[in-house]
Amino acid sequence: MAEANDLVQAFDNKIHAEEKIEPKDWMPAGYRKNLIRQMSQHAHSEVIGMQPEGNWLTRAPTLERKSVLLAKIQDEAGHGLYLYSATETLGITREEIVQALHDGHAKYASIFNYPSLTWADIGTIGWIVDGAAIVNQVALQRTSYGPYARAMVRICKEESFHQRQGYESVAVLARGSAQQKAMAQDALNRWWWPALMMFGPHDADSAHSAQSMLWKIKRKSNDELRQSFVDQTVPQAEIIGLEIPDPDLKWNEQRQHYDFGEIDWDEFKQVINGNGLCNRERLAQHKQAHANGAWVRAAVAAYVKGKTGESGE
Amino acid sequence: MGDEKLNNQIAEYALRLGDDALVFGQRLCEWCADAPTLEEDIAISNVGLDYLGRARMALQYAGKTLGRTEDELAFLRDSGEFRNLLLVELPRGDFAFSMVRQYLLDEFELLFFAQLCKSKDDTLGAIAAKTVKEVRYHQRRSANWMQRLGLGTQESQARTQAAIDQLWGYMPELFEMDELEASLLQAGIAVDRVELHSKWLDIVSAQFASANLQVPESDWQVVGGRKGVHTEHLGHMLGEMQFLQRAYPGLEW
Amino acid sequence: MSELSPLFEVFLRGRRGLDHIHVGSLHAHDAGQALEYARDTYIRRSEGVSIWVVESKDIHASQESDVASFYDPMDDKAYRHATHYTLPDGVDNM
């Protein structure tokens, strides 16, 4: 018992001293479980997030935009891979992580259950959705689990291009024809609130937040992060002449922050619980691709087995 | 031969190379979020990016003479004006089909662009030099896949052999010379496709033989892409690819 | 038939003259495929000039319980670090 207490004490000391926890270190079961939940959800979000963007890859309006979009989606796949690898250091396999997604036990960011309906959605996803993700990820670079923090550093470095290309692409539409500008405004109208929801429930209502903050898995609260996102994004919209779809939005001189309207939490719950436009398609597509690839993966496994068998003789 | 005539011929040649790369790149885009593993998804995207990059270089070059931008060429021509090989416009099929097509093309491109590096046309030579480096990597990857699929399971072998059989009749077009290319060959600008055939066949045959795969004995062949006579698939691809530029003409994106 | 592929750890040399540094991992069926995937995944922006891959199971790591015997003996050798030595005023860098 004394020994177990020592382990807990050593762990707590490391957390307190801002030292990273590394894979082979002892960690409380709850810490490990919490990390697996958050990291795998993060990884799945990167991978499922490829779908709404991939939806416009074959319809991108110029060859340069097509190349940029392909490179960006490839980055998302890479980020998913970094995060799956980092999660695997916690003693769970990729197969188990993916299986949990297919079984519905693991989640992904609910925002990807919204459809990408026009080309403007692609720029808006880069600007707003990636923008929100970056605010979250910048904070996570200081997360207490070493492999997660290092993956975040790598990801943040790459993500800045994602947000910029998105913003630039929306800016071109905003100064384009009336139809293009309307397209850009419409996309912002549809993605703004879901982006605010990405930060999760209010701190008071967040199931995992308190413990995650104590363990320094999360470094800033949902509401703090949401506020930073609003503060940085509102002026960006003004500069390109688009309107944030929130009548309650206004600068609060006293707080030195923007005040903004209440999120429709009912919609949030509806979409999380499966009533978004794309919930079933996103998961079905992932399962289908996985199932379609089964014979390929089996072939490679058999090939390697045959080859190593031969050399062993 | 007058300069203007020669320039037009070079532009047409560049257009062919550009269309091959563009149409194939577009097909590779269709694998996005649909590959057998996440690692393979990333790999296919890398190859796709190389093709899109090559398409842009070639179309920009063609467009200089033709007075059109790369995007006008990509998004505002109908299928009859596209000059790509039929091979690259076929629907992507399953992973075996896509990978066999990739392999057959890679072995061809490795030989083709090595020759085009020596072109008297500097721009084509430069495009070829860059392409050779990329294709070397593509070929290594697709050749490895021929081994894995051919020597993997019964199912993978069968799917791969079926893909070879389905694709074989589209290969002769890669080695066909017409008046334009013959004339550019004379000028030291184009590659002699005919000359590449036997070498290509030797390489591919050896690869297949070592991977439990057969070179088909079929004698069917389909051609027409260089003249703008395409399969029905290209029109659908263009309908999708060109949607925005057609629905909202003349805008900046 | 199992489709499971082993995990490989990836190390990159950023440029000539630097050490290989661990950057992450990936799944592949053999070392050759691991190298290909590492190239596609970890040097998308020319982050490296050389890649090492090694199967994760082949890495032997020191254990938490060994920490004391592994590292503590090194802790008392401050004289091995340049900062241990005070430089006279006027000598800024050494």
C17: containing domain: 1-58
Which pLDDT does position A247 carry in this prediction?
Answer: 97
Q: Does B56 touch chain A (CB under 8 A)?
A: yes
C22 Rama sector, left if φ>0, alpha if ψ -120 to 50, beta otherwise: beta
**pLDDT tens per residue, range B67-89:** 999 999 999 999 999 999 999 99
Q: Choose from C8, C10, C27, C37 for mutation: most chain B CBs within 10 A.
A: C37
Q: What are the C-alpha distances in Å from B126 to residues A289, B61, B118, B120, B129?
A: 38, 11, 9, 10, 5
Residue B42 touches partner C, C-beta closer than 8 Å: yes
- Please indicate, yes or no, if residue C92 is contained in any of the structural domains: no
Mean pLDDT of A173-179: 97
Kindly list the partner chains of chain B, i.e. chains with 3 or more CB atom pairs below 8 Å.
Answer: A, C
Shortest distance between the Cα of A151 and any Cα of chain C, in A, equals 8
Q: What is the mean pLDDT of residues A53-58?
A: 98
pLDDT of residue B207: 98
- Answer yes or no: do B39 and C44 touch at CB < 8 A: no
Does a structural domain hold residue C4?
yes
State how far the Cα of C77 lies from the Cα of A142, in Å rounded to an integer. Answer: 30
Task: Using DSSP bridges, classify how beta strands C20-27 and C7-13 pair: parallel, antiparallel or unpaired.
Answer: antiparallel
Q: Do A24 and C2 touch (CB under 8 A)?
A: no
**Residue range C39-52, pLDDT digits in tens:** 988 988 888 899 99
The 10 Å CB-count burial string (b at 16+, else e) for A25-63 is: bebeeebeebbbbbbbbbbbbbbbbbbbbbbbbbbbbbb
- Give the side-chain half-sphere CA count within 13 A for A141: 12
| The CATH number fitting domain B3-247, selected from 1.20.1260.10, 1.20.1290.10, 1.10.540.10, 1.10.260.30 | 1.20.1260.10
B69 and chain A: CB distance < 8 Å anywhere?
A: no
Q: Tell me the mean pLDDT in the region A153-160.
A: 89
Q: Is the pLDDT of residue B223 over 70?
A: yes
Dihedral Cα A201, A205, A209, A211, nearest 10 deg = -170
Measure C36 CA to nearest chain B CA, in Å: 8
pLDDT of residue A4: 77
Q: How many domains does chain C have?
A: 1
Per-residue pLDDT at C86 exceeds 90: no
Is the pLDDT at A2 greater than 70? The verdict is no
CB contact under 8 A, A297 and C24: no
Report the pLDDT value the prediction gives residue B52, as an integer from 0 to 100: 97
| DSSP-assigned beta bridge partners for residue A259 | A250
Q: What is the pLDDT of residue C75?
A: 67
Nearest-Cα distance to chain A for B179, in Å, is 30
pTM above 0.90, yes or no: yes
d(CA B109, CA B124) in angstroms, rounded, equals 14
Q: Which chain B residues contact residue A78 at CB under 8 A?
A: 42
Chain B interface, best mutation among A44, A158, A300, A311, by max B CB count within 10 A: A300
Task: Say if residue A7's pLDDT is above 80.
Answer: yes
Q: What is the pLDDT of residue B144?
A: 96
Q: Do the Cβ atoms of B42 and C37 come within 8 Å?
A: yes
Q: Which has the minimum average pLDDT: A191-200, A245-254, A283-292, C58-67?
A: C58-67
**Per residue in B104-128, pLDDT tens?**
999 999 999 999 999 999 999 999 9
| pLDDT (tens digit per residue) in A134-153 | 999 999 999 999 999 999 99
Residue A122's H or E segment, with its range, is: helix A119-124
Model confidence pLDDT, tens digit, residues A74-122 = 999 999 999 999 999 999 999 999 999 999 999 999 999 999 999 999 9
Q: What percent of chain C stands above pLDDT 70?
A: 74
Q: How many CB pairs under 8 A join A and B?
A: 137
Q: Which residue has the higher pLDDT, C74 or A86?
A: A86
Please report the pLDDT score of residue A60 as a whole number.
Answer: 98
Question: How high is the pLDDT of residue B13?
Answer: 98
pLDDT of residue A164: 92
Q: Flag whether pLDDT at B1 surpasses 60.
A: no
Q: Which of A77, A177, A295 sits opposite B38 (nearest CB)?
A: A77
Is B130 buried (19+), middle (13-18) or exposed (0-12) by CB count in 10 A? middle
Give the pLDDT score at A210.
85
pLDDT class of A310 with cuts at 50, 70, 90? low
pLDDT digits (tens, 9 = 90+) for B162-206: 999 999 999 999 999 999 999 999 999 999 999 999 999 999 999
Residues of C with CB under 8 A from a CB of B: 1, 5, 26-29, 32-33, 36-37, 39-41, 44
The domain ranges of chain B are 3-247
CA distances from B31 to A275, B27, B41, B212 (A): 27, 8, 7, 26
B34 touches chain A (CB under 8 A): yes
What pLDDT digit, counting tens, does each position of A201-227 carry?
Answer: 998 888 778 889 999 999 999 999 999
Give the DSSP per-residue string, A171-228. Answer: HHHHTS-HHHHHHHHHHHHHHHHHHHHTT-S-GGG-TTHHHHHHTTSS-S-HHHHHHH
Which residue in A66, A69, A87, A307 has the most chain B C-beta atoms within 10 A of its own C-beta, making it the best mutation to test that interface? A66
Question: Is pLDDT at C1 greater than 50 in this prediction?
Answer: no
The yes-or-no verdict on residue B94 having pLDDT over 80 is yes
Mean pLDDT lowest for which of A291-295, B44-48, C22-26?
Answer: C22-26
Is residue C72 domain-resident? no
Select the more confidently predicted residue: B219 or B14. B14
> Is the CB of A59 less than 8 angstroms away from the CB of B45?
no
Spatial contact of B156 and A292, defined as CB atoms under 8 Å apart: no
Q: What's C35's domain CATH number?
A: 3.10.20.520
Mean pLDDT taken over chain A: 94
- Across all residues in chain C, what is the average pLDDT? 81
Taking CA atoms, C38 is separated from A115, B46, B54, C31, in Å, by 32, 12, 23, 10
B251 touches chain A (CB under 8 A): yes
